[in-house]
């Protein structure tokens, strides 16, 4: 059963300069125990997509579609229900959050707080017991309850942020770039940890990254975003071995595969920048940078369509069988 089900979700910001449709018609679901990765370049709407789940967007933004958390549409929730769902049903490890720990408060105290606020009948003692268990679960010694943030490494702080997000036993955990500031070895450990936690707790997990290679070995499914839309999605290994959308191929080509002499996707980079969502090109948003673009791509709106079992892509060429897996 899907613990998170996003149905035709759109979000538009409304700054003074004009509307910015940052997320457009996204369909994405996460089952209990499943790890889903979302990859795409900076500005493609990844953090905005996460903000829809807990309604953490500005008041002036307009949303459309449905975001079902454990079957309940968050867009229909009253504020007191929404507050309970935050932490309780769905929790977020925010982008860059490892710098947001309170520098003058011990780790234990910071972790105890949400438990005391959100868990009925919790006492200081029961909450601290839970915090120790959580530290153990994220692979940290329990003595760290007495540590201050500056005494921990970046990787250890990120583990604390994960423990913090788990304090109220959410059904779905949303991780926004959980490893970006960390070295590659620690990145791998953190992703391994997240996957283990998702399986152990039968919790759904959505992991956002601009680095597709980071996600490929730790996710069950991957969705690729471009200019606010999901342009391809499918099982991680399948998508990684047979990327269908020209953007996915370009994104993969941007990362070298060390030791893989047979890699079909030699590092090439991708010329140009993604479009500003407030000023999108006509037709397929990717066409100005796409090596496969034809006249049709400049005029026809593309939609995500099935291309193989469990695989979808939004590209008229792929949908016509060119480059399909
Ligand atoms: N509060 C806001 N008001 C207006 N525009 C916004 C606001 N927040 C984000 N945007 C715009 O929405 C688009 C998507 O931003 P978002 O932060 O979701 O991208 P992202 O994929 O998370 O990027 P990154 O990888 O850099 O974190 C960007 O063009 C951004 O400028
Ligand atoms: Mg972001």
Q: Average per-residue pLDDT in the chain?
A: 90
Using DSSP's 3-state secondary structure scheme, residue 304 falls into: coil
Residue 110 counted as domain residue: no
Percentage with pLDDT > 70 across the chain:
93
Residue 191 counted as domain residue: yes
Helix-helix angle 107-118:154-166, to 10 degrees: 20
Closest atom of ligand 1 to CA, residue 44: 21
DSSP annotation of 280: P
Burial class (CB in 10 A: 0-12, 13-18, 19+), 22: buried
pLDDT at res. 213: 80
The CATH number of the domain holding residue 62 is 3.40.50.300
- Ligand 1 contact via 20 beta carbon (within 6 Å): yes
Least confident window among 10-14, 163-167, 229-233 = 163-167
Residue 300 counted as domain residue: no
CA Rg value for the chain: 20
Domain count, the chain: 1
- The Cα–Cα gap between 209 and 202 comes to 22
- Ligand 1 contact via 47 beta carbon (within 6 Å): yes
DSSP annotation of 274: P
Closest atom of ligand 1 to CA, residue 210: 25
Residue 271 counted as domain residue: no
Residue 160 counted as domain residue: no
Range of the domain at 182: 2-89+170-244
pLDDT at res. 321: 62
Residue with tokens 């790890």: 35
Least confident window among 52-56, 82-86, 191-195, 257-261 = 257-261
Residue 257 counted as domain residue: no
At 312, is the pLDDT very low, low, confident or very high (cuts 50, 70, 90)? very high
At 97, is the pLDDT very low, low, confident or very high (cuts 50, 70, 90)? confident
pLDDT at res. 94: 86
Among protein residues, the one with the nearest Cα to ligand 1's atom 29 is 43
The pLDDT tens digits of the residues spanning 41-65 come to 999 999 999 999 999 999 999 999 9
Ligand 1 centroid distance, CA of 120 (Å): 36
Q: What is the average pLDDT across 253-262?
A: 54
Residue 315 counted as domain residue: no
Residue 256 counted as domain residue: no
pLDDT at res. 323: 54
At 294, is the pLDDT very low, low, confident or very high (cuts 50, 70, 90)? very high
CB atoms within 10 A of CB 68: 18
Residue 201 has pLDDT above 50, yes or no: yes
The pLDDT tens digits of the residues spanning 4-47 come to 999 999 999 999 999 999 999 999 999 999 999 999 999 999 99
Q: Where are the beta strands (DSSP E) in the chain?
A: 2-13, 20-31, 35-39, 62-69, 72-73, 90-93, 172-176, 204-209, 221-226, 229-235, 305-308, 311-313
């Amino acid at each position: 059963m899907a613990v998170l089900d996003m149905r035709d979700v759109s979000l538009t910001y409304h700054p003074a300069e004009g509307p910015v449709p940052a997320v457009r018609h996204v369909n994405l679901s996460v089952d209990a125990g499943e790890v889903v990765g979302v990859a795409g370049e900076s500005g493609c709407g990844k953090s905005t997509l996460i903000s829809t789940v807990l309604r953490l967007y500005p008041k002036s933004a307009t949303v459309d579609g449905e975001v079902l958390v454990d079957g309940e549409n968050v867009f229909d929730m009253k504020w007191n229900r929404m507050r309970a769902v935050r932490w309780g049903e769905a929790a977020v490890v925010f982008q860059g959050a490892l710098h947001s720990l309170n520098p003058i408060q011990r780790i234990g105290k910071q972790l105890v707080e949400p438990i005391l606020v959100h868990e009925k009948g919790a006492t200081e003692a029961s909450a601290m017991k839970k915090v120790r268990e959580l530290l153990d679960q994220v692979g940290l010694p329990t003595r760290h309850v007495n540590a201050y943030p500056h005494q921990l490494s970046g990787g250890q702080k990120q583990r604390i942020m994960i423990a913090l997000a788990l304090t109220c036993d959410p059904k779905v955990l949303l991780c926004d770039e959980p490893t970006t500031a960390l070295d590659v070895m620690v990145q791998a450990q953190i992703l391994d940890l997240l996957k283990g936690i998702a399986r152990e707790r039968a919790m759904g997990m959505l992991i956002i990254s601009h680095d597709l290679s980071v996600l490929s070995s730790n996710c069950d499914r991957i969705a690729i975003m471009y200019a606010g839309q999901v342009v391809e999605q499918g099982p991680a290994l399948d998508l990684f071995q047979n990327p269908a959308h020209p953007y996915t191929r370009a994104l993969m080509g941007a990362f070298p595969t060390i030791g893989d002499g047979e890699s079909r996707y030699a590092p090439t980079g991708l010329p140009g920048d993604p479009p500003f969502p407030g000023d999108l090109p006509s037709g397929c948003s990717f066409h100005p940078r796409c090596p496969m673009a034809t006249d049709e791509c400049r005029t026809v709106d593309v939609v995500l369509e099935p291309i193989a079992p469990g695989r979808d892509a939004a590209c008229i060429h792929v949908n016509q069988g060119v480059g399909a897996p």
